[in-house]
């Protein structure tokens, strides 16, 4: 911003002309001297000072309005994110849902009951997300991060979670029938009352997992599981689990 200040009265032309060392400079100096008088006249015009103050005030008002409306902008952003998710419901592909889900979760918005079944969400990052009763069935979630998320009562049947981070996630009462968990990290996960019928757990990390309350593990493949606690392996095999190394797709 240009600060308004009074300009000193220009030197009289007669004196300036006498100071010129070369005659050919006269028209150029005269032109400059003319604009010095224009600047001098304008500097004494109080209206310009008023305009400058008004400009500063308008900037201040704009800043105040910007911050006062920040809450509305956040709400609008969340509304648009939910629109993206709901519009693509039941469809394949991503449709912008990865970014929408991550944005909502980053802002601490609960994702309770969200339906992203059959969606392509490979690599989605939803750490600490509240996904209670969410429907992620048949979704492609390979390489995703759900560390410490709440997936209680979630529907994950036929979901692909290969290589995903599910450390310390709560999967109590979750439907995990036919879920692909090959190479996933389930360390510290809560599987109380989870249904793991026909789930593929090959090479999964089960260190510190809460498994005692698992509802069903019939036909689940536990070949090569890592860090399985206590009598998990013997219990799982007795409940109908299998150990089939197979060939990874």
Domain ranges of the chain: 13-68, 72-249
Contact 212, 232 (CB under 8 A): no
Please state, in angstroms and as integers, the Cα–Cα distance from residue 104 to each residue in 8, 71, 80, 143, following that order.
60, 14, 10, 20
Segments of the chain assigned E as strands: none
Q: CA 74 to CA 95: how far, in whole Å? A: 21
Contact 7, 39 (CB under 8 A): yes
Q: Indicate the CATH number of 72-249 among 3.40.50, 3.40.960, 1.10.760, 2.160.20.
A: 2.160.20
Q: CA 246 to CA 49: how far, in whole Å? A: 82
User: Model-level pTM?
Assistant: 0.71
Q: 35-92 pLDDT, tens per residue?
A: 777 776 766 666 656 667 667 767 776 767 656 656 667 888 899 999 999 988 877 7
Contact 179, 161 (CB under 8 A): yes
SS3 call for 190: strand
Q: 194-246 pLDDT, tens per residue?
A: 999 999 999 999 999 999 999 999 999 999 999 999 899 999 999 999 999 87
């Amino acid at each position: 911003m240009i600060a308004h200040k009074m300009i000193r009265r220009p030197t009289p032309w007669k004196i300036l002309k006498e100071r010129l060392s070369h005659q050919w400079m006269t028209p150029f100096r005269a032109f400059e001297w003319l604009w010095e008088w224009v600047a001098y006249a304008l500097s004494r015009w109080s209206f310009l000072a008023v305009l400058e103050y008004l400009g500063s005030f308008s900037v201040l008002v704009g800043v105040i309005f910007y911050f006062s409306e920040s809450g509305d902008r956040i709400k609008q952003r969340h509304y648009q994110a939910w629109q993206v998710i709901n519009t693509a419901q039941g469809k394949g592909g991503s449709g912008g849902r990865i970014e929408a889900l991550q944005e909502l979760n980053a802002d601490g918005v609960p994702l309770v009951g969200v339906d992203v079944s059959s969606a392509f969400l490979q690599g989605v990052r939803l750490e600490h997300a509240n996904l209670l009763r969410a429907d992620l069935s048949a979704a492609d979630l390979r390489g995703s991060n759900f560390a410490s998320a709440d997936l209680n009562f979630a529907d994950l049947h036929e979901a692909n979670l290969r290589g995903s981070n599910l450390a310390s996630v709560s999967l109590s009462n979750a439907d995990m029938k036919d879920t692909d968990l090959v190479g996933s990290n389930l360390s510290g996960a809560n599987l109380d009352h989870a249904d793991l019928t026909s789930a593929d757990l090959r090479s999964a990390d089960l260190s510190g997992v809460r498994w005692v309350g698992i509802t069903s593990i019939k036909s689940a493949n536990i070949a090569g599981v890592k860090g399985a606690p206590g009598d998990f392996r013997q219990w799982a095999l007795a409940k109908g689990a299998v150990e089939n190394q197979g060939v990874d797709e």
